[in-house]
Structure formats: C-alpha cells, structure tokens
Copies of this chain bind each other. A is one copy, B any other.
Amino acid sequence: MDAFFYPSSVAVFGSFKKGAIAYEILRNIVEGGFDGNILPVNPKGGRVEIAGKSFEIGEKLEEPVDTAIIAVPAKIVPDLIDEIGPLIRGAVVISAGFSEVGNGELERELVQRAKKHGVRIIGPNCAGIFGVHGRFFGSFEVRVKPGGLALISQSGAFGGAALAMGNDEGVGFSAFVSYGNAADLNESDFLEYFADDENTRAIALYIEGVKDGRRFLKALRYASSKKPVIVLKAGKSASGAKAAASHTGSLAGSYEIYRAAFKQAGAIEVEEMEEVFDAAKAFEMYAKAGKRVAVITNSGGPGVLATDKLERLGLEIAKLGEETVEALRSFLPSQCSVKNPIDLIADADYERYRRTIEITCGDENVDSLLVICVPPIFIPSEEIARAIVEANCSKPIIVNFMAGELVREGVELLEKHGIKNFPTPEKAAKALAWLSRRRNGAGEGI
C-alpha cells in the first residue's frame, strides 16, 4: 500500500490538455512538490508545460513506476492495465463508467486483469489519492497542509469538499483516499493501513455503505484500537439510504446496525460534515479525556451554554473539591463564582486565568477543562491566551475564544502553541464529548 501513499515514481494516463482531468492531476503532483519520477503518458505523445517545467508525454509506459493514475475512457482501462501491469504496483482508476452506471462486467474485467499482474486497484470512479507527507497529490482535489488526519471517503466530491473545509479549519492531513466503486481495495483495507501509518494520528471515514460488514467491523476495531477513527455515515434515513443506493450502488443497510458497529468498535461517530473537523481538531491535540469537566469563563452566559451542552452530551460538571474552592476563594474577587462553572467575571486578567486553571487542574475530581473567553474589555485577548499556554496543567484543555475578529490575536497565539480554538461554547463541549468517548471505546472487544 506504500506504493500508493509513499510512491517514489508515478505515471499519469489521460489527456494533458489544460483543464482535462489528467492534466489537473499532473499539475497537482508537480505543483505539490513531488520529488520522484513523474511520467505523463498518452499515445499521441507531445509535451506539456506545468509550473515552469516541461514534460515529454510518453506514448507508452516504458519503465517501472510505483503507481499509475488512470483517467482514460472506461472501456480501454482493462487493456491498459494488461499492458502496463508488469511495470506497476498499483493503479488509481479515476475513470467513471463502470458498475456505477451498470457496467459491472467491465469492472470485473478490470479487477481480473489487475489480479493477473498482482496489481492493486483504487477505484474506479474515484477522485484519487494524496500522500501528504511524501508531497504526493495524486488527485485533482485541492492540496492540503501536512498533518495527522487521514481522510477516507467513499464519495469523491464529499472528499474534495472536506479537504477544502479542513484547510479552512486549519486541520492538517496525512493522506486522502477517494475509493469510488471499491472494486478491489476498500474502506477496510485503508482503515488497516492508516492504523499502522506513523504519520496518521487520526482517521476520518465517510461511508454510505460497505459490502463486507464482518470485515469492516474487524478493520474498524483494529484501527480504533490504534488511533481515533471519526466516522460520518450517510444514508441514515429511509430516503437517504435509497439515494445512497442509487448513487454508489452500495446497499446502505439498516443504520441501526451501523451505529451499533461503530459503537462496538470504539469509533467516534459524528452527525454532521462540519463535526468531522471539530473532532479532528480535538484529537489532533489530545488522545482522550475523562468525563468530569471544569468550566472556566469570564462571562456567565457562555458558561451556562457550555454547561447545558456538556450535560446533554453525557459529561459531568465536575464537583470541585473543598480545597479547590478555598484556594480559588482566597484570591478571586468576591463577585466571582467559585462553583463550577467558575466565573472569573469581565475584568479577568492573565493572573486570574492562569491561577484558576492551575488550581482547578490540580483537583482530582476534574478530568478536563473547558476555558471560555469573551472579548476582554480592558486587556488584549492575547493575555488570556498566554495564561492558557503558560498555565502548568497536564490535563486536556479545550478552549473557546468567542467573537472571531475581536479575539484574533489571542487565537493566533494559541494556535502558535498548538492549541486549536473552538468558536462557540457548544463546539468546545462537543470536542470534550468526543474525547471522552474515546476512552471508553478504545480497544473495546479486542
């Protein structure tokens, strides 16, 4: 599988006219900085210019490469595989026109030819793959920053949109794979692979349906025992399942069965697309967190919203120990509330935040902290950010700096120190909920 995600050479098959799929993929590979051998192939030959570089287009493949990316008409793909089979280890078949439009026969033919040569197939009908740490962007989708998230998507378009959203959210990626019709390699193979991939810290999976449930459960269990697996299941409702079936030809099956499987395997199921990245941000910082949360805020209202959401998600508002309450009372102004949520009120400064975090963090009744900051009136938000960064606390801290533009400096300082900001109290609460589910789920049943 390394041939796909850490290749040392790649061949691209298709049209290299500007705007054509193969051209766009080639452009992504070149502009992305891939430093292995890159071979564009088209029977017509010629040259193609990209990013100031000029490539000769081979009329056929004449030397071995790790991976072939194929964007030629569906009907000639099996013959092409036969021709180049001896020279490649894996093929990513972008071409559409196989089982998804009723051409199951052509798809079986493709797999048979590949098997004959010991070649593994991703696709057909897919958007391609990224191996981000090897700077290999073998897809026409938007390039992303390196990081720890491997995104496995049954839907190519979902995957593409998700990469762009992840970029916007500041999430870094280790890899991306859109596996389309899954004629050969499928979600289970990728789960197992990324479970052991050292650049991958968390896995995000978008699925509509799987063909081999037993195998999937095993793979999901294995992956979840190694790292967080965030799952977004589409086709949950009756109409949704029907739409998914007509879309990918996969039988979505009963959602209840999937849900039970996710839970049993210890995977983190999210409800909405956006939550994939909220969860990814949380797991980029922490492996897990306990259920007893201390909320620290400089404003009552947002503290209440966080508290509501935490309880609703099954977490506990930690009951602070006597000593903690006394220690807080000893230095906080009398208008501050030292009950959890701890309200440091509007004029809270560096010192008030830092000491409160440290004291609360030292309480054995507290597993994790949710720290809220509305734009402080008298000091820059950076000071509160610095208090969070410098506080001596080894428990997970999830931060909610509210009101975007007004706390920008604070948020930037946090990010510089690897602390991601969650823009609302509710999102911060959800982040803790996902972290807490991991503890119970991980390795269960293994």
In the assembled complex, how far is the CB of residue A370 from the closest CB belonging to chain B, in whole angstroms? 12
| A375-431 residues at the B interface, CB under 8 angstroms | 375, 377-378, 402-406, 423-427
A243 touches which of B160, B237, B300, B423 (Cβ 8 Å): B300
Give CA–CA (A160, B375) in the complex, Å.
Answer: 8
Partner pick for A161 among B237, B337, B375, CB 8 A cutoff: B375
A335 touches B158 (CB 8 A): no
From known contacts A304-B208, A311-B238, infer whether A403 and B164 are also in contact, taking CB-CB under 8 Å.
yes
Any B CB within 8 A of the CB of A239: yes
Q: Which residues of B contact A423 (CB under 8 A)?
A: 165, 274
Residues of chain B within 8 A of A239, CB atoms compared: 307, 310-311, 317, 340
Q: Which A294-322 residues have C-beta < 8 A from chain B? A: 298-305, 307-312, 317
- A242 nearest in chain B by CB position: B339
Stretch in A31-39, A182-190, A244-252 touching the partner: A244-252
Task: Report the separation of the CA atoms of residues A148 and B56 in the bound assembly, to the nearest whole angstrom.
Answer: 59
Contacts of A406 in B (CB 8 A): 142, 164
Q: Is the CB of A375 within 8 A of B164?
A: yes
Does A283 interact with chain B (Cβ within 8 Å)?
no
Interface assignment of A155: CB less than 8 Å from any CB of chain B: yes
In the bound complex, residues from chain B placing their C-beta under 8 Å from that of A246 are 337, 339, 343
Task: Give chain A's interface residue range (CB within 8 Å of chain B).
Answer: 35 or more
Q: Do B299 and A157 touch across chains, with their CB atoms under 8 A apart?
A: yes
- Docked complex Cα distance between A342 and B403 (Å): 38
Q: Which of A95-112 contact B (CB under 8 A)?
A: 101
* Residues of the B chain whose Cβ atoms lie less than 8 Å from the Cβ of A426: 271-274
Given A165-B424, A236-B308: 16 more A-B contacts, CB < 8 Å:
A153-B301, A155-B301, A156-B299, A158-B305, A165-B402, A165-B404, A167-B405, A239-B310, A239-B317, A246-B337, A247-B301, A271-B426, A273-B302, A273-B305, A273-B425, A273-B426
